[in-house]
């Protein structure tokens, strides 16, 4: 972070923003401002270059065709790679998560190269689409409470050796590989299948992104527990028999 300003970049709202994923940018922005940070939020459309000097980049989910277009443009642009090389934090959801991996299956049924920023490969699930509420235990190393989210994807994501699962599902499919893993992360790049938007349901993940970007172990506490009611409601709903 330079000039005491946190630069938040929301990538391609015109292509990738299903299920309210743009809420993730709102939550990070708000929780940063509540800590007194000066935040510059930049929404970058797919015909604009990705700035390389951002601190946190957010990328959402999308339908299969916009996902292919987004992958093509991000590969051609190269800015996100440079930003990660500069130490930026990236948080991605669903289609965005698949794009950050090595490859995924596109809307034409072909193998589409991703950005290779996460050591994952996505294939097309042969079974039913993964749809519904998800509950999971986040990797204990991250010190975060239970994960709650909503998934809707056909893709199945396999983790390579340098990616750690973000969570283990108690309910739902997550990566869809049958091993109970959900999402993936390395030191600075995170991916999840969770919509919701996931950072509104799990604001302490937003705080984790802020801590990583600011390179601090703790943030000033904020008296803001609005999300507990939302979390409680969604966790209870997920546990109702179908
Ligand atoms: N098109 C991808 C899939 O179905 C991602 C869907 C999404 O982002 N919701 O796997």
Structural domain boundaries in the chain: 5-238
Class of the domain covering 5-238: alpha beta
Q: Is the CB of 152 inside a 6 Å radius of any atom of ligand 1?
A: yes
Give the residue whose CA is nearest to atom 8 of ligand 1: 61
Rounded to the nearest angstrom, the distance between the alpha carbon of 150 and the centre of ligand 1 is 12
Cα 118 to chain center, whole Å? 12
Q: Is the CB of 31 inside a 6 Å radius of any atom of ligand 1?
A: no
Tell me: pLDDT of 46 over 70.
Answer: yes
Query: 98 or 242: whose pLDDT is higher?
Result: 98
- The residue with tokens 């179908």 is 242
CB 74 within 8 A of CB 101: no
Tell me: pLDDT of 84 over 90.
Answer: yes
Taking only the tens place, the pLDDT of each residue in 23-35 is 999 999 999 999 9
Residues contributing to the annotated binding site for substrate? 129
Tell me: pLDDT of 242 over 90.
Answer: no
Tell me: pLDDT of 136 over 80.
Answer: yes
Whether 130 is catalytic is no
pLDDT of residue 104: 98
Whether 102 is catalytic is no
pLDDT of residue 241: 77
Average pLDDT for the chain = 95
> Which residue from 11, 33, 42, 106 is spatially nearest to 68, judged by alpha carbons?
106
Using a pLDDT cut of 90, give the percent of the chain over it: 90
pLDDT of residue 225: 79
Length of the chain: 242
Give the residue whose CA is nearest to atom 6 of ligand 1: 153
Query: 127 or 161: whose pLDDT is higher?
Result: 161
Mean pLDDT of 96-121: 98
Pairing between strand 38-44 and 5-11? parallel
Tell me: pLDDT of 2 over 70.
Answer: no
Catalytic residue among 94, 130, 153, 158: 94
| Cis before 197? omega within 30 | yes
Mean pLDDT of 76-81: 98
Q: Is the CB of 123 inside a 6 Å radius of any atom of ligand 1?
A: no
Taking only the tens place, the pLDDT of each residue in 197-226 is 999 999 999 999 999 999 999 999 998 778
């Amino acid at each position: 972070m330079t000039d005491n300003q946190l630069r938040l970049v929301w990538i391609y709202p015109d292509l990738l923003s299903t299920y309210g994923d743009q809420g993730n940018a709102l939550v990070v922005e708000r929780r940063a401002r509540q800590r007194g940070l000066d935040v510059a939020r930049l929404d970058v459309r797919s015909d604009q270059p990705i700035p390389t000097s951002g601190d946190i980049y957010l990328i959402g989910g999308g339908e299969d065709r916009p996902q292919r277009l987004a992958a093509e443009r991000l590969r051609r642009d190269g800015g996100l790679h440079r930003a990660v090389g500069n130490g930026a934090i990236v948080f991605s959801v669903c289609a965005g998560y698949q794009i950050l991996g090595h490859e995924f299956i596109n809307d034409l049924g072909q193998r589409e190269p991703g950005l290779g920023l996460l050591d994952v490969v996505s294939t097309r699930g042969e079974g039913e689409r993964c749809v519904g509420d998800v509950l999971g235990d986040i990797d204990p190393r991250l010190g975060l409470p239970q994960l709650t989210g909503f998934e809707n994807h056909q893709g199945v994501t396999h983790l390579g050796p340098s990616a750690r699962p973000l969570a283990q599902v108690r309910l739902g499919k997550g990566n869809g590989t049958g091993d109970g893993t959900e999402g993936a992360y390395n030191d600075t790049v995170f991916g999840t299948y969770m919509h919701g938007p996931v950072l509104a349901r799990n604001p302490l993940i937003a705080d984790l992104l802020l801590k990583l970007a600011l390179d601090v172990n703790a943030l000033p506490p904020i008296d803001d527990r609005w999300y507990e009611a939302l979390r409680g409601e969604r966790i209870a709903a997920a546990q109702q028999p179908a």
